[in-house]
Amino acid sequence: MKELLGNQTSVLLMAIAFIAILLLLIFVFFRIGKLRRKLDESYQQNANINSDFKKLESMYQDTLLSYNKLNTRYDELHKNRESIMKLAYTDHLTELPNRIAFIEMLDNIMVTLRSEEIISIMDIDLDNFKNINDTLGHSYGDELLIDVTHRLRQVLDENDYLSRIGGDEFIILTQNLKDTAGYEEKIKKVRNVFTFPFELSSKEYFITVSIGVAFAPKDGRTGQNLIKNVNSAMYVAKANGKNTYAYFEHTFNQMLTDKIELQSELRKAIEKQEFVLFYQAQMDLVNKKVLGFEALIRWNHPSKGLLYPNDFIYLAEESGLIVPIGKWVLKSACLQLSEWVNMGYNDISMAVNLSTRQFRDKDFVQMVFDVIEETGIDPKKLELEITESVALENLDYTISTIMELKAIGVRFSLDDFGTGYSSMSYLKRLPVSNLKIDKSFLDTVMDDTSDQKIIQAIISLAKNLDLHVIAEGVERSDQEQFLQSSNCNIAQGFLYSKPVPKERAVEFLNSMNF
Ligand code: C2E
Ligand code: MG
Ligand code: MG
């Protein structure tokens, strides 16, 4: 029994142990499952982290790439900005600082200018630059501007700042000036560079400049004011006949306002019939007869009275109004000649002055043809006067233009001879018929033996070239005697007659010739 009981107990115990082991196994099994799931999860997480990391890494690479791209773009923009700034501040043709750069520079200097400091600005404007552009074309105009820049650069020192502020306008700004007295030397240097001809299209051209000068603080306390004033000074130099210079004076601004007013009045003067022609006799000294007349324009100004050519021709030139005015002059002079011929004064000639712009006008030759036809004059009685500077500006053009008109009998005179370059070498190439010796020679001829020799030399040279010589501005009989003894037999001057209205010209003609 005991044994049976013992067996049963041990079976029970074994069963319990078995169940316990089973339970433990089940527990372990579940635990392992759980652990495995956890392990799987953490594998998954790890994989996720890994892929996130990869994503982050590629994002980082992308950002780095974008950053680099941005950086190069920034560099490009920076470079662009620099070149845009350079473009905005540099004159592309001459590579000089331009107007904007000059104004900024001047403004900065003016703000910090101490009372004991002096600065100067020199406004240099080429004379008749438009003619170069019109006759040779813009590329030669550009070439000239570059040549001018090179020459100006050579006269600069460390205190100078050269800029091109407009088409044919340059400015030299000079700092650290001790006084204004020594400035004359600088102007001389600048003008000196224009004493040599410029070579354009394998030909030589003489270029002159008009210069205005202003000092700060004396002539202006702001940059704007100083620029306005130096410009007035430059315009005064132009009005004084170009190829000269002027220091700013406070009266200049009024003069400029007057000038602008006069120019606008000039515009209406033709249609208001305010121009008149006066006539000055040209005398044959051998038999004291009138050979012809020179027509000289006057402006009957409504409030200013009778104005002379020197008061307004330069304005007409500047504005281009000289073209219609010049046509009016030619037509009126030819009509007058035709009227005199109809009155029986058959043998007289008529001289008419031409200005640069008019002579260079593309329709000039046709215009002269038309006027001759309309007025019915004999072209052989017409003399057209050009000055040396006009003739020389473009010698080939001058020669061909003269030849076209010479073909129908029109003659040309070289006016004011002796005041320009008076180069004898070109004289033989010019198909002109007359040479008019300038009044300035006659003014001093009786006191100055070298002037006498010059005039005599001009006369004999002209005769050798088959030219008639006309002496201008004869006022006294001793001058007349000198001319006669020197073989110059045509003269014009107050000694015989001043320029007079047509009625008085006829009276004079009657008194001398009939
Ligand atoms: P120019 O052609 O040399 O004309 C001669 C100038 O000298 C004239 O001045 C005349 O009055 C002046 N004159 C003549 N004889 C004497 C004299 O004995 N003594 C003095 N002191 N002067 C004398 P004007 O009429 O004032 O003309 C000045 C300039 O204006 C002319 O010089 C000419 O270049 C220009 N001009 C005149 N009329 C015209 C015109 O219709 N068209 C153009 N483009 N220019 C003109
Ligand atoms: Mg003349
Ligand atoms: Mg003259």
User: If you write DSSP's letter for every residue of 161-177 in order, what string do you get?
Assistant: EEEEEETTEEEEEEEEE
CA of 385 to the centre of ligand 1 (A): 11
From the CB of 473, is ligand 1 less than 6 Å away? yes
| Helices 322-342/364-375 angle, 10° precision | 30
Residue 185 confidence class, pLDDT cut points 50, 70, 90? very high
Alpha carbon distances (Å) from 48 to 54, 56, 124, 219, 360: 10, 12, 79, 82, 89
CA 368, 371, 373, 377 torsion-angle sign: negative
Number of C-beta neighbours around residue 379 at 10 A: 17
Q: Is 235 exposed, middle or buried (0-12, 13-18, 19+ CB in 10 A)?
A: buried
DSSP string, 314-354: HHHHHHTTHHHHHHHHHHHHHHHHHHHHHTT--S-EEEEE-
From the CB of 420, is ligand 1 less than 6 Å away? no
| Strand ranges across the sheet with 169-177 | 160-166, 169-177, 118-126, 209-216, 245-247
- Residue 3's pLDDT is 62
Say yes or no to pLDDT of 17 above 80.
yes
Pair of tokens at residue 206: 């003489």
Q: Among all chains, which residue has been given the structure tokens 């004079």? A: 508
Q: Is 429 exposed, middle or buried (0-12, 13-18, 19+ CB in 10 A)?
A: exposed
CA of 296 to the centre of ligand 1 (A): 6
Q: What is the pLDDT of residues 76-86, one digit of tens each?
A: 888 888 888 78
CA of 4 to the centre of ligand 1 (A): 168
Q: Among all chains, which residue has been given the structure tokens 């040479």? A: 435
Q: What is the pLDDT of residues 101-143, one digit of tens each?
A: 999 999 999 999 988 899 999 999 999 898 888 778 899 999 9
From the CB of 325, is ligand 1 less than 6 Å away? no
Say yes or no to pLDDT of 263 above 60.
yes
Pair of tokens at residue 107: 């403004």
Report the relative pairing of strands 198-200 and 305-307 from DSSP bridges. unpaired
For residues 182 and 249, which has the higher predicted lDDT (pLDDT)? 249
- Residue 4's pLDDT is 59
Residue nearest ligand 1's atom 12 by CA:
473
From the CB of 309, is ligand 1 less than 6 Å away? yes
Candidates 237, 260, 278; CA nearest to 122 is: 237
From the CB of 296, is ligand 1 less than 6 Å away? yes
Residue nearest ligand 1's atom 2 by CA:
353
Pair of tokens at residue 300: 């009957």
Instruction: Map 238-263 to HEC letters.
Output: HHCCCCCEEECCCCHHHHHHHHHHHH
Residue 347 confidence class, pLDDT cut points 50, 70, 90? very high
Query: Is the whole-model pTM more than 0.75?
Result: no
Q: What is the pLDDT of residues 279-314, one digit of tens each?
A: 999 999 999 999 999 999 999 999 999 999 999 998
CA of 293 to the centre of ligand 3 (A): 13
Q: Using the 8-state DSSP alphabet, how is residue 381 labeled?
A: G
From the CB of 413, is ligand 1 less than 6 Å away? no
CA of 365 to the centre of ligand 3 (A): 22
CA of 387 to the centre of ligand 2 (A): 8
CA of 511 to the centre of ligand 3 (A): 25
Ligand nearest to the CA of 385: 2
Q: Could you give the percent of the chain with pLDDT greater than 90?
A: 65
Mean pLDDT computed over 193-207: 90
- As a whole number of angstroms, the distance between CA 316 and CA 324 comes to 9
Instruction: Map 187-234 to HEC letters.
Output: HHHHHHCCCCCEEECCEEECCCEEEEEEEECCCCCCHHHHHHHHHHHH
Atom of ligand 1 nearest to the CA of 474: 18
Candidates 90, 109, 226; CA nearest to 163 is: 90
Judged by DSSP in three states, 308 sits in: coil
Beta carbons of 380 and 405 less than 8 angstroms apart: no
CA of 236 to the centre of ligand 2 (A): 24
- Residue 423's pLDDT is 67
Query: 261-513: what CATH class?
Result: alpha beta
Beta carbons of 430 and 391 less than 8 angstroms apart: yes
Pair of tokens at residue 130: 């438009």
CA of 423 to the centre of ligand 2 (A): 19
- As a whole number of angstroms, the distance between CA 150 and CA 96 comes to 10
Domain boundaries, the chain: 31-89, 99-250, 261-513
From the CB of 324, is ligand 1 less than 6 Å away? no
From the CB of 493, is ligand 1 less than 6 Å away? yes
Atom of ligand 1 nearest to the CA of 278: 25
Fold for 99-250, please state it: Alpha-Beta Plaits (3.30.70)
Q: What is the pLDDT of residues 456-475, one digit of tens each?
A: 988 998 999 999 999 999 99
Mean pLDDT computed over 314-332: 94
Omega before residue 431 within 30° of 0, cis: no
- As a whole number of angstroms, the distance between CA 87 and CA 151 comes to 23
Best mutation site among 313, 319, 352 for ligand 1, i.e. most ligand atoms within 8 A of its Cβ?
313
- Exposure letters 319-354 (e unless 16+ CB within 10 A, then b): eebbbebbbbbbbbbbbbbbebbeeebeebbbbbbb
Spatial neighbors of 311 by CB under 8 A, at least 6 apart, are 262, 299
Beta carbons of 277 and 502 less than 8 angstroms apart: yes
Atom of ligand 1 nearest to the CA of 387: 34
Q: Share the mean pLDDT of the chain.
A: 92
From the CB of 435, is ligand 1 less than 6 Å away? no
Which helix (H) or strand (E) element contains residue 350?
strand 349-353
- Residue 202's pLDDT is 86
Beta carbons of 118 and 169 less than 8 angstroms apart: no
- As a whole number of angstroms, the distance between CA 512 and CA 514 comes to 6
Atom of ligand 1 nearest to the CA of 326: 42
Q: Among all chains, which residue has been given the structure tokens 């004379």? A: 127
Which helix (H) or strand (E) element contains residue 304?
none
Atom of ligand 1 nearest to the CA of 354: 44
CA of 294 to the centre of ligand 2 (A): 7
- As a whole number of angstroms, the distance between CA 108 and CA 112 comes to 7
Pair of tokens at residue 278: 């006066």
